[in-house]
Amino acid sequence: MSTNGTPRTPQIAIIGAGMSGLCMAAKLKLAGIESFTIYEKADSLGGTWRDNNYPGLTCDVPSRFYQFRFAPNPDWSQWFSAGDEIWRYFDKVADDLDIRRHVELGREVTAAHFQNGRWELDFADGRSASADFLVSACGILRIPRYPEIDGLDSFTGAVFHSARWDHDVPLDGKRIAVVGTGSTGAQIVSGLAGVAGEVKLFQRSAQWILPMFNPRVSSLTRWLHRRFPALDRVAYDSLRAGAHRVAPALTAPGPKRSAIQAICRLHLRTVRDPALRAALTPDYQPMCKRLVASSAFYKAIQRDDVALVTDGIERIEPAGIVTTDGTLHEVDVIALATGFDAHAFMRPMQLTGNDGLTLTEAWKDGPRAYLTVALPGFPNFFTLMGPHSPVGNYSLTEIAETQADHVLAWIERWRAGQLDTVAPTEDATTRFNADMRAAMPGTVWSTGCSSWYLGADGVPELWPWTPDRHRAMLSQPRLEDYEIHSTERVATPAA
């Protein structure tokens, strides 16, 4: 409390105005805290859903589960919504909760230093700011990974990453190469089949595909959800319960894992040509990599105007792609569905905590955090969608809410005068990471495949337990696992 007995007013800096940044802002607003600013380096909100707008983009989590629990949307048009509809949803959340006035666009944070009990922020434009709490909501899949292919710059046609799609390039009737076979590659092929003159998918490794039926939501259903908001809560809870029943398939062997794997194998049987089916058959267990969800991909890849290329790419020439068998594949456009740096987190921002400890030093052996949200040596710093978060085929909006609620609880303790700074101990963080590594061998991600889930040492860096355990651990933190300091400093009185 401040000297007059009223709650203290924290200054809070949130980096990133994507899904998780908006979630943190909304939680603060709903708690009556207005003293925060979101710093967004782009010129609009939306994060992943702003940057990714390629043909065929669809969320692979049901729309009514891929929404904030506190901001239901009765008007979803499909069971699994397209990317532009999700972007509009987050834009509407920002307007409905009056978050937009807290956002400063075009403000890239280049460095943050903890000194004298506060965070000092430096921006690319030379300006600076300070805050009591710093929350990184930079996201996971945001820095495009470009392949190192000889001659890529020599290509005379259009070439761009899926997250930097050039909509000024005409696609109708064009010869298009898609490089990459994850969820993005599968969606782009499905979206371009029948639009482009020819689509060639260059496959480095095959992917398991889970069928995803995507019916439209009727106008009657949308009206009922508007008229009776409780229906939306029932739908959310039902989908959440279903996801939690499936979650053990990822973390432990058993009949649920076997059932999902059998569905994937049966789905592959819909590819009629035995040679094509063999080329599309992965050499690892379903779910070892993030499952691709699509009921359109196998149909698309069997079209006469779509081809699968399994020979490796040797180089790129001005006219197209040369594969290791010596074939020149002449194309007009190259779309790189080659993924992201999944281990960057808030980097390249330079973060410096207590006693000059830098993030580079703290993460010299790879990203590590405590309970997915905090770092030892970095007081009053929290990260949403940080290292080890449960991001494998699950609703990230629910994970963001769980993490934001945890952060809010620490801020409320600060407001009440119970602490001035808080950070997890090194011992607690080491113990937590050791427990995760011990639990990892039973997960499907450890069954033998190469994926963006793996760290530099080849061990998966995901949450090895269920989402329920994630929520339980964050909702009831062990206070003995934290370094909590309180001083006589008097904070700014509440407004």
The residue written with tokens 């008097």 in the block is 490
Q: What is the pLDDT of residues 182-237, one digit of tens each?
A: 999 999 999 999 999 999 999 999 999 999 999 999 999 999 999 999 999 999 99
Q: Whole-prediction pTM value?
A: 0.94
Q: Chain-wide mean pLDDT for the chain? A: 94
Which pLDDT score is estimated for 6?
Answer: 82
Mean pLDDT of 12-41: 98
Going by their DSSP bridges, the two strands 175-179 and 158-161 should be labelled as: unpaired
Mean pLDDT of 110-127: 97
* Residue 283: pLDDT over 80: yes
Q: What is the pLDDT of residues 394-409, one digit of tens each?
A: 899 999 999 999 999 9
Going by their DSSP bridges, the two strands 292-293 and 313-317 should be labelled as: unpaired
Fold topology of 152-216+255-336: FAD/NAD(P)-binding domain (3.50.50)
* Residue 457: pLDDT over 90: no
Going by their DSSP bridges, the two strands 118-123 and 128-131 should be labelled as: antiparallel
Dihedral sign (CA 91, 159, 168, 292): negative
Half-sphere exposure for 362 (CA within 13 Å, toward CB)? 25
Which pLDDT score is estimated for 342?
Answer: 85
Which pLDDT score is estimated for 491?
Answer: 39
Which pLDDT score is estimated for 3?
Answer: 55
Identify the residue with better confidence: 103 or 140: 103
Could you tell me the pLDDT band of residue 302, with boundaries at 50, 70 and 90?
Answer: very high
Phi, psi of 306 (to 5 degrees): -125, 135
* Residue 489: pLDDT over 50: no
Closest alpha carbon to 253 in 490, 445, 388: 445
Could you tell me the pLDDT band of residue 4, with boundaries at 50, 70 and 90?
Answer: low
Q: What does the chain come to in residues?
A: 495
Which pLDDT score is estimated for 437?
Answer: 94
**HEC profile of the chain:** CCCCCCCECCCEEEECCCHHHHHHHHHHHHCCCCCEEEEECCCCCCCHHHHCCCCCCECCCCCCCCCCCCCCCCCCCECCCEHHHHHHHHHHHHHHCCCHHHEEECCCEEEEEEECCEEEEEECCCCEEEECEEEECCCCCCCECCCCCCCHHHCCCEEEEHHHCCCCCCCCCCEEEEECCCHHHHHHHHHHCCCCCEEEEECCCCCCEECCCCCECCHHHHHHHHHCCHHHHHHHHHHHHHHHHHCHHHHCCCHHHHHHHHHHHHHHCCCCCHHHHHHCCCCCCCCCCCCEECCCHHHHHCCCCEEEECCCEEEEECCEEEECCCCEEECCEEEECCCECCCCCCCCCEEECHHHCEHHHHCCCCCCCECCCECCCCCCEEECCCCCCCCCCCCHHHHHHHHHHHHHHHHHHHHCCCCCEEEECHHHHHHHHHHHHHHHHHCHHHCCCCCCCECCCCCECCCCCCHHHHHHHHHCCCHHHEEEECCCCCCCECC
Could you tell me the pLDDT band of residue 493, with boundaries at 50, 70 and 90?
Answer: very low
Please state which CATH class domain 12-143+341-485 belongs to: alpha beta
Cβ contact 337:184 at 8 Å: yes
* Residue 488: pLDDT over 70: no
- As a dihedral over the C-alpha atoms of residue 447, residue 439, residue 474, residue 230, rounded to 10 degrees, the angle is 50
Q: What is the pLDDT of residues 45-92, one digit of tens each?
A: 999 999 999 999 999 999 999 999 999 999 999 999 999 999 999 999
State the Cα–Cα distance between residues 421 and 384, nearest whole angstrom: 18
- The residues, any chain, with a CB within 8 Å of residue 21's CB and separated by 6 or more, are 14, 15, 38, 40, 47, 135, 137, 384
Closest alpha carbon to 190 in 82, 83, 54, 296: 296
Which pLDDT score is estimated for 1?
Answer: 64
Which pLDDT score is estimated for 396?
Answer: 95
What percentage of the chain exceeds 70 in pLDDT?
A: 97
The residue written with tokens 């819909």 in the block is 270
Which pLDDT score is estimated for 485?
Answer: 95
Domain parsing of the chain, residue ranges: 12-143+341-485, 152-216+255-336
